[in-house]
Chains A and B, each alone.
Chain A
Amino acid sequence: MLLQKQSKVFAALLLSLIVFSMWDLMVGQVHVSWLQLLHWKTLNHSQSLALFELRLPRLLVAGFSGALFAASGTILQTVMRNPLAAPDIVGVTAGASIIAVAALLFFPNLSNMGIAWLACFGALAGFSLTFLFARVNGDVAPTRLALTGVAIGTTLLAGEHFLLLILPVDIGSSLNFIAGSVYGANWQRALAITPWALIFLGVTLFLGRALDLLALQDDTSIGIGFNVKHMRMLLLLLAVILAGLGVTGAGILGFVGLIAPQIARLIVGAKHQVILPAAMVVGALLVILADTLGRVIVPPAELPAGIITTIIGAPYFIYLLIRFSK
């Protein structure tokens, strides 16, 4: 019974993913209708250029970044037992972003993959800083973690703006790490993150059971022969890498890592084996939708997807804060 309901939910999710992806491919300066989309071999030159060289890589980057942030948020929320945890709340994305910009400034010849790994390192540094400062007497209270993370994130972002303004730099390529936008995503970037995103998202899918166990009380999990400490460290590391890859793809997409897991929990229940894939699809959906909306609201102007996710996500965060404190 339950399984039937879940498979219906997944069918609906995948269907909307396909529909919204098609919408994303259709709109823009050069319009492509959905019928033409199905007969993609008959497109004229400008249409196929827009579709295959601009919109398809952009769609891939948007979808993968959303899924990466969502997976990272799901792990962080469960491992830290904190509904307010998300990569952009606990300083992870800001750390990744500042290191990626610094890497572009100081090693301009670095490959996309090199930047991605450095971004993961920055994500780890940002998270460690947040964790260390939020820990008082061995205890990390949820609200303090969130507040400390936001404070450290603010400082790192100010540092990043400072770097960008004092050093000569190709602003175009570094701006995408701040703004939270998939504008200008090309095949080079899409191909750089796709394989790693697939690997790490795949690994994450197998860790649903471990997350279920961690959601239990520590004593219970230890009782059934489960090394809580090691597993927790491993999962946190994975969450940080996922977010670092996400930042390399689309910069800081505010609140995606917070909302997507929450929505997934609401619609598929409490088992992480189903929450994880659902969260990934919801995350991808959110970013693709935000990117499309950003292009259709007032063309030809484009709003970065990150602004739209923030406008949707911030009120939700406040709602959570209120509900959580009652």
Chain B
Amino acid sequence: MAPSEQEFSTIIGPDARVKGEVSFESAAKVLGTLEGSVTGKGKVHVANGSRCKATVTAKEVAVEGHIEGNVEASDRVEIMANGKITGDVVAAKMNMAEGASINGYCRIGVSTDDSSRSTSSRSASTTEPKPEIETRPTPTPTPTATASVSKK
């Protein structure tokens, strides 16, 4: 316990109940209840039994308790066996133990640049064939019309 707690410069105790915006410069461990938003430059550890009704944004997020809100990690999200996330997860890497649960949209390993590229490429690809489709139907009705007229 002692060495792991030494990693965290900030520890929010189990009796603590915080509402609002909380930001950490380094690693932090949450044992109590948090409501609002949590922002950290290091690791944010949501311990077993704790509950976060907040959006958590950090370099690394470890979930052993329950997070109700979106989680965004620039590096990694780790969900332990008792961990539970109800919300969207965006991270570069994810590690999920057996028994962990997620209920939300996940975007793992897909950087924002790639997604923007893919969306742009999709939009380009969708816009390109449209004129082709539009040009094709236009010649088809004219021959039928001429044919019908000539027959008459």
Q: Do A and B come from one complex?
A: no
Binding site for A on B (CB under 8 A): none
